[in-house]
Structure 1
Amino acid sequence: MPENQHTDPFEDRFAAALRDAGHSFRTDDPAGLVGRGQVRGRRKQLLRRTAVLGGMTGVALVGVGATLLLPPEAHDPRRTSPAAGPAATASPSAASPSPAAAFTGDDMLRSLKELLPQGTFSEEQAQGTDSLMPPYARVVFDDGNGAAALGLNVDRVEPGSEQARQRATCPDKALVTYDDCTTAKLPDGSRLALFRGYEYSDQRADTKRWYAELLTPKGHHVLLTEWNAPAEKDAPVSRPQPPLSVEQLKEIVTADVWPRVVDSMPSRRDRSATSEAPSPGTRGRTVADTLAGLLPGELKVTGQGGEESDYAYLVVDDGKGGSLVQINVQPGMSDVAGKLFQGAEKLADGTLVTTRKSPGEKGAEGVVMWTADTLRPDGLRVVVSAFNTPAQHQDATRDAPALTLAQLREIALSTEWDAGA
């Protein structure tokens, strides 16, 4: 059976999406093409999910309004710029532009810096509300104890949507290693998550990543992330801990300036609404339910999670230990055929199929990932992977995954994913 050269379907999707992104922001195609809105929205969700499952950035550091929306150049440790002068500490009611006016990139930087403790700033980058993409501000901040990267992102999320349900929640410890994560409901009904963890789930580096994430009942989404290094990746640790305590993180994300920024953003209905449309084969039920129904009878489901419409994971046990199984069901992916399915098997109906065995998470001893990747003629892509561990970032607990490549292939090709449109 043909094997694709790519090692991880989720990283493949991540790379393909980044190619569409442009150079100013780490998210999907910034052009306002309504016809591709659904593809963009789903890929945006997948970018966030890839960060979680691939151990690339932990919970939400890649191109999703999810949550950490730092542009690619904002993470480049090689970029340098003159340090700015010290900024005074300010309360959450720090001065900011009128809510009736657009916020420029300079406004974003000034508002963030006014809320930070006294220190120096460098590597300043920002985007205002005069763009189709969500605003952000990024600085390298030094309070005298070492330079640290900070990134703030704001966005609008449809209240009550699937996207909203994912925000300001703690990640599943089956997928992400962290020291502490708490959630709380504030008096105004907002949901707040405070996270202290690591840039890499396998902790192959000492880079720590802490964040505060806020979602208001009106859909204002604010995320502030900090590291104990001057860049998210590929920079030496500069201090034992990030500079801001979780209490300071909370104070900044709950500042009244950020809802005004969101309210001044142009409407993105195509981006928020289309990303919530369920996949054609899963209307009325979750992907996890469908996946569980396709498992061999001898497997017992011991854990599950994911999103209703296009992603799920299960932890299954055949009596030999837990095995993580994860699936993505994504419509509108015809454009990746040439890149991700070169040399793939082509079935009579035109469906492309490839299977592969590859290493799992870096730093996790002995972990392997077996994958079946399929692309229907109508653009529906179904990718199923299984691991020989119940948690991808942990060492192997068994010799092989609980599902064979043939079983994964059968699941990915099931007509259950096509039915029910």
Structure 2
Amino acid sequence: MLLVAASAVIIAGIAAIAVRHPGERPVPRVSGDRMVRLLVDRLPAGGAVRDESGSASDSRSGPGAELTYDRGDGSFRIALAVTRLATPVAPNAADCPDRAHFPYEKCAVTVLPDRSRLMTSEGYEDPLDPSSRPRWIARLVTPGGRQVEVGQWSPRPADANGARTTPPLSPAQLRAVAEAPQWAEVVKALPVPQAAAPPAAPVTDRPLMLRLIRDSLPPSVRVTEEAGATRGYAVLTLDDGRGAHLMTVTAQRWRRDSPEMEQIFADASVRRDGVRVVTRRTAAPRGGRGEVQWEADVLRPDGLRISVSTLNSTAFGLPPTRRTPSLTTEQLTAIASNDAWESG
């Protein structure tokens, strides 16, 4: 899963090894100045632009541009990056940020007529603090591998005029910048990437995951919110009447000889059918005082791994809402061990 930084690269792209295919026709280099001009031309009229910088298509960071935009009522930084992704494009390339780590993000994904996916999010500099400066992002990913990311955020520290409370570009204007057809020409100047084989593949569509999880919960526990990626990952908010809290579920298929899995399940208990099980009760990573995480991790002989985790808060880093999660590690193990995962 996405942080805006004060650079031309807004959000980390999909990892790929860039190679030029034999016989591929060379295309003109796109300069950093050209990237700046293309971005400036896409911005709404009436704003002053300063502190521009750009990177060329043959630079290490790839083509991008960054500038300060001011309509007279406070300045914002705006940055754009263009990337060429390996095809077929990963299905999660334009997913919303993980609500488990970005609890206050307002996000939507739109599927366009050409099957491109457009993600627009309205979040904050500190994802755990909605009183911090706003950070809005738009990301377009096309089936052909064009990825355009554009974001806006308040400069730190604020300039003499102060920083706006609301970013100058509306979500629709941010989207229009990402969708501009000029970026297709920029992508042609980039080498065709070759995707590296992932160590694990997500399995099970999220609706099926959510249904299976719901069916496994005790009657006293309700699901009050659902989120997650398209496949292989689900985020739920649970509540048994004693405080809402977070559950995350990951469903992946790993290689049977995966060294990563051998290390994680080195001390696992092994059932007669070869299924390995690990349970953990730890302090939550990046958690506040009193935040705990309970987990059940199950690995089947065919490489199917189901990991179920709960917190005693509604997101990583937020204060606890209860002393312990509503489900025991035994109940989490029962969910992760359900044979129905194999049919997903």
TM-score of Structure 1 vs Structure 2, range by shorter chain: 0.5 to 0.7
Letter in 1 for 2:244: G
How many residue pairs end up in the alignment? Answer: 316
For residues 100 and 265 of structure 2, the distance between their equivalents in structure 1, rounded to whole angstroms, comes to 32
- In proportion to residue count, which structure has more strand? 2
Aligned to 1:301: 223
8 Å contact kept, 2:236–2:246: yes
Normalised to the residue count of structure 1, the TM-score between the two structures is 0.57
User: Residue 223 of structure 1: CA displacement?
Assistant: 1.6
1:120 aligns with 2:45: no
8 Å contact kept, 1:65–1:154: no
Aligned counterpart for 1:315 among listed residues 227, 231, 237: 237
Which runs of structure 2 are paired with 1:370-381 in the superposition (5 Å)?
A: 370-381=294-305
For residues 250 and 223 of structure 1, the distance between their equivalents in structure 2, rounded to whole angstroms, comes to 10
8 Å contact kept, 1:355–1:409: no
For residues 100 and 245 of structure 2, the distance between their equivalents in structure 1, rounded to whole angstroms, comes to 15
Aligned to 1:347: 270
8 Å contact kept, 1:287–1:307: no
Aligned to 2:211: 289
1:386 aligns with 2:310: yes
Letter in 1 for 2:155: A
User: Residue 313 of structure 1: CA displacement?
Assistant: 1.8
Aligned to 1:102: 27
Aligned to 1:324: 246
8 Å contact kept, 1:125–1:139: no
8 Å contact kept, 1:361–1:393: yes
Larger C-alpha radius of gyration, 1 or 2?
A: 2
User: Residue 185 of structure 1: CA displacement?
Assistant: 8.2
User: Residue 253 of structure 1: CA displacement?
Assistant: 1.9
Taking a change above 3 Å as real, the CA distance of residues 250 and 345 of structure 1, as seen in their structure-2 partners, is closer
1:399 aligns with 2:323: yes
User: Residue 111 of structure 1: CA displacement?
Assistant: 1.9
Letter in 2 for 1:355: R
For residues 381 and 189 of structure 1, the distance between their equivalents in structure 2, rounded to whole angstroms, comes to 30
User: Residue 386 of structure 1: CA displacement?
Assistant: 0.8
Q: Which runs of 5+ in 1 are unaligned?
A: 1-47, 70-99, 231-235
8 Å contact kept, 1:214–1:254: yes
For residues 387 and 103 of structure 1, the distance between their equivalents in structure 2, rounded to whole angstroms, comes to 52
The Cα offsets for residues 300-343 of structure 1, whole Å up to 9 and x where unpaired, read as 3333222343111222232323232111112226232466556x
User: Residue 245 of structure 1: CA displacement?
Assistant: 2.3
Normalised to the residue count of structure 2, the TM-score between the two structures is 0.67
User: Residue 211 of structure 1: CA displacement?
Assistant: 1.6
Aligned to 1:224: 150
Taking a change above 3 Å as real, the CA distance of residues 186 and 176 of structure 1, as seen in their structure-2 partners, is same
Which runs of structure 2 are paired with 1:13-412 in the superposition (5 Å)?
A: 48=1, 51=2, 63-65=12-14, 102=27, 104=29, 106-107=30-31, 110-116=34-40, 118-122=49-53, 125=55, 128=58, 135-137=62-64, 139=66, 141=68, 148=77, 150-155=79-84, 162-163=91-92, 166-167=94-95, 176-178=103-105, 194-203=120-129, 206-215=132-141, 220-229=146-155, 240-241=163-164, 244-246=168-170, 249-262=174-187, 279=203, 282=204, 286-332=208-254, 334-337=258-261, 340=264, 344-348=267-271, 349=274, 351=276, 353-359=278-284, 362=287, 366-392=290-316, 394-412=318-336
Taking a change above 3 Å as real, the CA distance of residues 142 and 386 of structure 1, as seen in their structure-2 partners, is same
For residues 173 and 284 of structure 1, the distance between their equivalents in structure 2, rounded to whole angstroms, comes to 16
Q: CA RMSD in A?
A: 4.8
Taking a change above 3 Å as real, the CA distance of residues 275 and 254 of structure 1, as seen in their structure-2 partners, is farther
For residues 266 and 276 of structure 1, the distance between their equivalents in structure 2, rounded to whole angstroms, comes to 26
The Cα offsets for residues 114-147 of structure 1, whole Å up to 9 and x where unpaired, read as 423631235x55555x99xx95525465769778
Residue identity over aligned pairs, in percent, reads 28
8 Å contact kept, 1:170–1:183: no
SS in 2 for 1:336: helix
User: Residue 408 of structure 1: CA displacement?
Assistant: 1.8
Taking a change above 3 Å as real, the CA distance of residues 360 and 383 of structure 1, as seen in their structure-2 partners, is same
For residues 190 and 199 of structure 2, the distance between their equivalents in structure 1, rounded to whole angstroms, comes to 18
- In proportion to residue count, which structure has more helix? 1
For residues 287 and 224 of structure 1, the distance between their equivalents in structure 2, rounded to whole angstroms, comes to 32
Aligned to 1:413: 337
User: Residue 399 of structure 1: CA displacement?
Assistant: 2.1
